[in-house]
Structure 1
């Protein structure tokens, strides 16, 4: 049985920020609710207030410019992200990662903000966003701050987000023409499932980055390696960045082996 809570659905950002200031740690933000509502049903999270952000304009929409790059509202769904023509053309790794999340039903509800704020070590959008050098815009009644994605995650299901803050947008810098990318995700079953191990690689003429999921307390990135780095060098950098554990899905040794396997598979295809 669900516990009692208040449901609020502000339509203006200023109203949301005042509600967050008032209710702080007793409130949870609701967008897609694919994780949050499960936790409430299980009783592992018992907020007094749910604040729905789906109707707030600043949390919706996708915008792009050659100067500022891509800006994605936190309440944009995975389907909206993966089907957006600019995202598909200019940020194909991001579109691909959005398409890896859950089932079709979940992708129609799950949002980029929710996927990142859940801060699961296996978050598909976390891994790809790190590779793309994303930044997160946090808003509160106190003001706005923008932090690099690599600093946003602080631990297992933990972020820099304060109780009175909300993620409003995620920013992605313009990716240079000719950039190449690849992503591999190992799942226990075909179709939708959490990643046992995931590896995303992006290479431009200036840098090479490797993002890894399910191999540390947070998604991690081995960033700004030389663009011509060898498989050996990239593998060494990746292994230094991760610290996988044994769990019901895989052993530490298996995860380490799969990271090496995926890098050896992906990197030659990007040359």
Structure 2
């Protein structure tokens, strides 16, 4: 047993307790895979990260990302939350950008005023969703056959598929049957109506990871990064837009998407809620 510096941060919100929480453990090089997985399961958060010394000399730090069930090669809110925690703890990047090493390789992160943004990694799976999987998703979301207007694999390492509905309220009203969607990571998106709902955001999103200790994610960087490549690639979104996520959970997540040339950046605010030590 030994002590580790620890932070718990809230990602995609400027207000504590309104975003997506993340546990961050520093100096975790001595921890075994089993110990990391056990601690992540114990926190019962959507993700827990462990910061280690980088293996790639181009990286500023290395991070391992665990859900309550398994390890992920990449996830968005853990990327921004870990970077915020690392910087706040005195980390100094080698260059102008922060370079994170993780399972998918090197991820670029940059400061955007008081917020952070990561470069969306390439999709490892895209294209239409198979009919049998779509049938499971439809049953799991309790939707009529014509309610889903578009669907696409948007997997950048976290296994996401995404479906689009016509109306924001349809997204907010969902009461999923997770037993129908076990093993799937499903994102649901619909546009805001600016006349009825305002212009604070342009899309409403919910993210379901059936079977996980946290079956709905309050604000999801990897999903929104994958969906951004889909939406922007098909001309379904402007070059810059804001996503609202977490409202049905009492949260107020805001995810910013910006296309700059050929690059898509996904960002938001991060605040620290807990700063101290833990014993593992």
TM-score w.r.t. the length of structure 2 is: 0.25
| Larger RCO: 1 or 2 (CA < 8 Å, sep 6+) | 2
- Relative to its length, the structure with more helix (as a share) is 1
- Relative to its length, the structure with more strand (as a share) is 2
